[in-house]
Structure 1
Amino acid sequence: MDNIFDQLSDYTLLFVENEEGIRKNFEEYFSMIFKEVYIASNGEIAYKLYQKHNPNLIITDIKMPIMDGITLVEKIRQKDDTTQIVIISAYTDVEFLLNSIPLGLIEYIVKPLNEKKMIEVFKKFLSAKNDSKYIYEKENNTIVFDGISYELTLKENQFIEKLVSGIRVISYEEIEVDIWGGKHMSSNALRIFIKNLRKKLPEGFIQNVTNQGYKLGI
């Protein structure tokens, strides 16, 4: 989780929420994570902040006075289809969900808000911002692609840690010593290990280097 927060510290957030209590609580939470946080209580104020600061991520409520969240997103999308936007609301009806599809949202969150829901939003945001489309979470034994989290076994986690640490080739000998714990590693065992791991990863993520080992392919 620390890895996610470290990456978010380079980005800015616009948080739009009508309810004062929620707004204040999450302003404090977001301020500990993002580089800059801009706060608005309605869509009109939010749009002015968007124009002035061009935030990387927008999280907005729907039901607000003066200008609601849907109108806000529609205005932004008239000129900007790249800024990532998340909508939060108490609404759960199918009609609204269908209407929100053309708005290009990365997530739709149903209240009440909590950290678990926000972490999932952060993962999707970072996956979209990251050119290589992945987030590696060593402490949690997971790797995330396009917002989807995949659990890694202990050996898989050790292998991925080495793989993403640089552009060098991870040799067969290094895998046997550091991941197999110095025990004999047959070529068949390694082949099955890599085959199973590749099922969790995008095509080309692990690249073979003939007679040497493996390297990061993206």
Structure 2
Amino acid sequence: MDKKELINKMKYCTVLYVEDELDVRKHIVEYLNRFFKKIYVSDNCEEALDLYKIYKPNIILLDINLPGMNGIDFASLIRKEDSKTRIIMTTAYTNKEFMVQAVELDLTRYLVKPVTGTDLFSATQKAILELDKNSSLPTLIDLGEGFIYQHTEKNILNKKDNSIILLRKKEIQLLEFFINKKNETITYEVIETQIWPDDIMTEDAIRSQIRNIRNKTYSKILKNISGVGYKLCVRTD
């Protein structure tokens, strides 16, 4: 993969950055914003853990020495259930014990401060290569009118303002079902039995989920076929 292709892939990836030093944080965030789609920022691991659970970033960049929970403990929590998200660790000094722990956490790279732009670019490029190898880069699905469904992250990107639209579990299930059946009319009965076989879903409940998706994207994304059901109609004009 050449440099141009790597940089292009960065545009579709998100980064969670955890650093308690304000000046360092501002400098690095400014640098990362040149390449990545979205940067989520925190100065502590407790808040960062909440951000991770909500946004599921592709790459985590964090300092080891943080107030409260340190970077090693944070990365350990992530690795208990997530082997795909790439983690880059930074620290102000080398520490043999930390380095041994870092190896066990399958880190992409261990950077010693002050981190240069060259070091950071090299580390993030390596993270992109690892993500690509594991096939864990976002799968992007054009929903029309500037809305992109990010299958890996389970959310929608609004390209008009580069904002992220969060979806609830049932909205995700419904939207993915329609994406797999694009331009097919899906009856109420099929929606009830195939999407939520273990739940009691009335037509009113289904309409409510349809309305939620429309409100978060645009009104004609799911077309009502009177008396039958709905179909996904992607508008590209």
TM-score (norm 2): 0.53
Contact 1:87 1:107 in 2 (8 A): yes
Verify: 1:27 aligned to 2:61, yes or no.
no
The whole-number CA distance in structure 2 between the counterparts of 1:3 and 1:16 is 27
Aligned to 2:107: 105
Aligned to 1:88: 90
The whole-number CA distance in structure 2 between the counterparts of 1:73 and 1:86 is 10
The whole-number CA distance in structure 2 between the counterparts of 1:42 and 1:64 is 6
Contact 2:86 2:131 in 1 (8 A): no
Aligned to 2:61: 59
The whole-number CA distance in structure 2 between the counterparts of 1:132 and 1:36 is 21
Gaps of 5+ in 2: 136-237
The whole-number CA distance in structure 2 between the counterparts of 1:72 and 1:106 is 15
- How far did 1:132 drift? 9.3
Gaps of 5+ in 1: 134-218
Letter in 1 for 2:38: E
Aligned to 2:79: 77
Contact 2:44 2:69 in 1 (8 A): yes
Aligned to 2:132: 130
The whole-number CA distance in structure 2 between the counterparts of 1:85 and 1:131 is 15
Which secondary structure state, in structure 2, belongs to the residue aligned with residue 109 of structure 1? Answer: strand
Aligned to 2:10: 8
Identity of aligned residues (%): 32
The whole-number CA distance in structure 2 between the counterparts of 1:132 and 1:97 is 24
The whole-number CA distance in structure 1 between the counterparts of 2:4 and 2:29 is 19
The whole-number CA distance in structure 2 between the counterparts of 1:78 and 1:51 is 13
TM-score (norm 1): 0.57
When the two chains are superposed, the root-mean-square deviation of aligned CA atoms in Å is 1.7
Change (3 A) 1:29 1:44: same
